[in-house]
Structure 1
Amino acid sequence: MNKDQVKGKVEEVKGKVKEVAGKVLDDKGMEIEGKVQKNVGKARAGLGNLKEDVKDELEDD
């Protein structure tokens, strides 16, 4: 696991917590901010996954 995967998953979790807190507190701004943060985290984790796949392919050759 590389740092982009780890940081992406952490951001994803923090975003989900913020999204749920926004729903519970009826704070649309916080909910939207959480959704954005969650999706940014997913994208960063995806980038990390891509890096790992490329690294694995290069090692196999």
Structure 2
Amino acid sequence: MPEWMRSFGRAEDGAVTVDWVVLTAAVVSLGMLAGVAIWGKTGGAAKGIADYIGTQGVDTTPM
């Protein structure tokens, strides 16, 4: 195996960058997962509130 391949395999330059990329991807993925879970629950609640408000009457007689 050529020397440059061995030194490339042993080099630790950029390892912190790879760690940060993986960590950032994990945080973004967890955030998206939480967003999807919350979005699914709030859609039903918003529809229920809209249906309730839609059935309410408005008194338009002057005071």
TM-score, normalization: structure 2? 0.50
Aligned residues: 38
Q: CA deviation at 1:60?
A: 3.6
Distance 2:30 2:40 in 1: 15
Unaligned segments of structure 2, at least 5 residues: 1-7, 46-63
- Percent identity over the alignment? 0
- For CA contacts below 8 A with separation 6 or more, give which structure has more relative contact order: 1
Unaligned segments of structure 1, at least 5 residues: 1-23
Give the helix-richer structure, 1 or 2.
1
Counterpart code for 1:53: A
Which has the greater radius of gyration?
2
Extract structure 1 runs of 4+ deviating beyond 3 A.
none
